[in-house]
A and B are shown apart, each in its own frame.
Chain A
């Protein structure tokens, strides 16, 4: 049968029996190992373990055959065990089979009387092992299947998107945790439940409509579900013309929608802010072209005003580009040690002419001689501080002075820019850092501004782990303070 000779153990205290069995079995091609009592048989079994069968005498010294059968059976399911007995009685046979023997062979026996039950036993062993193998295989498959199922179940449960499965009878047969979180009351419905019981009627309608279609289809719609905006995809499961069910996938797009709204608001604000100076320039140019004024001086004045508005429009576009660069991450700050004293000096110098024109003095104060070095992008600092000084000059009332104070406070550098202008109402103090917000009143109407300067300053300062704040009293003036982390001492020294 098999290329490897199969081994059989024979345990009997009678040498004649042992050798008789050996002869019969060897003639059939088996390899026979013999032992002269139960204990020796047990030792032989343990030394080999590869036996397909064992013939065991009942009455033996040291260890009885029944005991040996019991011991072997306890650790080996597959071996075929035969009891050989001279005292054949039903009781011993029953006892032996209870202990795990396949059968018994009464002494004396002919070769056939030994071989016949042996062959039966082997066949049974083969069948039992085959059945076992099949069972094991099936169990493996089931395990695999269960694993697959739990895997897809886990994937479904872990999905951020809500999933609802509806069958052709319009019953919700499954949903995942995200769906339960998105739809209030879904968890309290025992699955399966009727689609019409779904707490979101619009979703139920959409699924119902999809199911009504013949053949596969995908419907996509935006739905409000519990005050959130959901992008709902309903795809039907269908083969040829029969629709078997539908899967609805809900994706929460509330934040995306908010972003979209903010974006279009921003675009329309930009459009408005750009349109405003263009309208003015157009109006002025028409006045000149139509010769309405009949006064060359007046025309010149109008053209100068147009120029101012054109410049502020250009400023607006520059600031918009800077802001967009910051927003999209295209602005890369080149951090180097920067002395804020230099930056303040440059900013003040840049505003000197305009201040002088207005008759405004700019006082620069360095209360202590400390180095005011920050790790920063030089250009960004120029823009930020420059904007603040420029604003102070623009908004200070009449000829009242503007002051810039820079000092080290602990591990920070603080730059304060003070004006004595109209001040800012408490309600507006937060809004002034928002894009396009401008305080509108009689005074600010004559001050050109884009509404982007302070929001740009705030973003630049925050990019440098800094903070900007405003302290203001209406009618008295405002102080804008920028706080930036000071550069390390070692870097200051190196600088």
Chain B
């Protein structure tokens, strides 16, 4: 294992099938001092996290499938080591193709195994605000 593996305190995993969105989210996160690893698919991200635990996962909702993001979240949650990693789901359109997948409240989020849900059209501040909040909460939980 490389020495980078040990330092995961600032590691954020970004999953999006659009390289431009990877770039945008990475730029925002790197500007905040996070180290970002980018992935095109959930599969690749899961492989990467086999021996690394990031502080946060930011994932697109619609990748290979309409709800790939939720599927990915479910698989992260089922891994005891990753179960506590907060997940932020990003979507280009909350109501796409007639199916509204956007959660209406915290119960919906919990049911989806997701910690936050954000529209991609939300500005940078809203995005970073969500990121900070998720990392702070998980930090408290991790070290009670």
Q: B63 at the A/B interface (Cβ < 8 Å)?
A: yes
Q: A152 at the A/B interface (Cβ < 8 Å)?
A: no
Which positions 56-88 of chain B face chain A at CB distance < 8 Å? 63-64
Contacts of A442 in B (CB 8 A): 17, 40-41, 44
Contacts of A290 in B (CB 8 A): 31, 124
Stretch with Cβ within 8 A of B (4 or more), from A4-12, A133-141, A271-279, A460-468: A271-279
Which positions 21-63 of chain B face chain A at CB distance < 8 Å? 21, 23-24, 27-28, 30-31, 40-41, 44, 63
Contacts of B121 in A (CB 8 A): 275, 279, 282
Q: What's the least CB distance linking B15 to chain A, in Å?
A: 11
- With beta carbons under 8 angstroms apart, the residue of A272, A305, A440, A445 that contacts B92 is A272
Q: B144 at the A/B interface (Cβ < 8 Å)?
A: no
Q: What's the least CB distance linking A437 to chain B, in Å?
A: 12
Known: A442-B40, A445-B18. A272 touches B98 (CB 8 A): no
Known: A280-B18, A284-B24, A305-B20. A275 touches B93 (CB 8 A): yes
Is the Cβ of A446 less than 8 Å from the Cβ of B64?
A: no
Is the Cβ of B123 less than 8 Å from the Cβ of A445?
A: no
Question: Would you give the 0/1 interface string for A168-184, flagging 1 where the beta carbon is closer than 8 Å to chain B?
Answer: 00000000000000000
Q: A220 at the A/B interface (Cβ < 8 Å)?
A: no
Q: A309 at the A/B interface (Cβ < 8 Å)?
A: yes
Closest to B26 in A: A287
Which positions 258-299 of chain A face chain B at CB distance < 8 Å? 261, 264-265, 268-269, 271-272, 275-276, 279-280, 282-284, 286-287, 290, 292-293
Contacts of A271 in B (CB 8 A): 93
Is the Cβ of A280 less than 8 Å from the Cβ of B124?
A: no
Question: Would you give the 0/1 interface string for A440-468, flagging 1 where the beta carbon is closer than 8 Å to chain B?
Answer: 11100110000000000000000000000
Is the Cβ of A272 less than 8 Å from the Cβ of B23?
A: no
Contacts of A441 in B (CB 8 A): 17, 40-41, 64
Q: A302 at the A/B interface (Cβ < 8 Å)?
A: yes
Contacts of B27 in A (CB 8 A): 287, 292-293, 302
Q: B96 at the A/B interface (Cβ < 8 Å)?
A: yes
Contacts of B93 in A (CB 8 A): 268, 271-272, 275
Is the Cβ of B24 less than 8 Å from the Cβ of A280?
A: yes
Is the Cβ of A286 less than 8 Å from the Cβ of B19?
A: no
Question: Would you give the 0/1 interface string for B119-130, flagging 1 where the beta carbon is closer than 8 Å to chain A?
Answer: 011011000000
Is the Cβ of B24 less than 8 Å from the Cβ of A445?
A: no
Q: B97 at the A/B interface (Cβ < 8 Å)?
A: yes
Closest to A276 in B: B92
Is the Cβ of B92 less than 8 Å from the Cβ of A286?
A: no
Is the Cβ of B20 less than 8 Å from the Cβ of A280?
A: yes
Q: What's the least CB distance linking A474 to chain B, in Å?
A: 15
Is the Cβ of B20 less than 8 Å from the Cβ of A309?
A: yes
Closest to B25 in A: A283
Known: A264-B98, A269-B97, A442-B41. A276 touches B18 (CB 8 A): yes
Known: A272-B96, A286-B124. A445 touches B19 (CB 8 A): yes
Is the Cβ of B97 less than 8 Å from the Cβ of A445?
A: no
Q: B142 at the A/B interface (Cβ < 8 Å)?
A: no
Complex Cα distance A265/B40, Å? Answer: 27
Question: Would you give the 0/1 interface string for A299-338, flagging 1 where the beta carbon is closer than 8 Å to chain B?
Answer: 0001001000100000000000000000000000000000
Complex Cα distance A429/B80, Å? Answer: 39
Known: A272-B93, A275-B121, A280-B18. A292 touches B64 (CB 8 A): no
Q: B1 at the A/B interface (Cβ < 8 Å)?
A: no
Q: What's the least CB distance linking B57 to chain A, in Å?
A: 18
Question: Would you give the 0/1 interface string for A27-39, flagging 1 where the beta carbon is closer than 8 Å to chain B?
Answer: 0000000000000
Complex Cα distance A445/B97, Å? Answer: 20
- With beta carbons under 8 angstroms apart, the residue of A268, A279, A283, A446 that contacts B98 is A268
Contacts of B24 in A (CB 8 A): 280, 283-284, 287
Closest to B92 in A: A276
- With beta carbons under 8 angstroms apart, the residue of B17, B21, B30, B97 that contacts A283 is B21
Closest to B90 in A: A279
Complex Cα distance A446/B22, Å? Answer: 11
A-B contact pairs, 24 of them (CB 8 A): A261-B98, A268-B93, A268-B98, A269-B97, A271-B93, A272-B92, A275-B93, A275-B121, A279-B92, A283-B120, A286-B124, A287-B24, A287-B27, A290-B31, A290-B124, A292-B27, A292-B30, A302-B27, A305-B23, A441-B17, A441-B41, A442-B44, A445-B18, A445-B40
The 8 nearest A-B residue pairs measured at CB: A283-B24, A442-B40, A292-B31, A280-B20, A445-B17, A287-B27, A272-B93, A279-B120
Known A-B contacts: A272-B96, A279-B121, A445-B40. Give 11 more (CB < 8 A): A268-B95, A271-B93, A272-B92, A275-B93, A276-B18, A280-B21, A286-B124, A302-B23, A305-B20, A441-B64, A442-B17
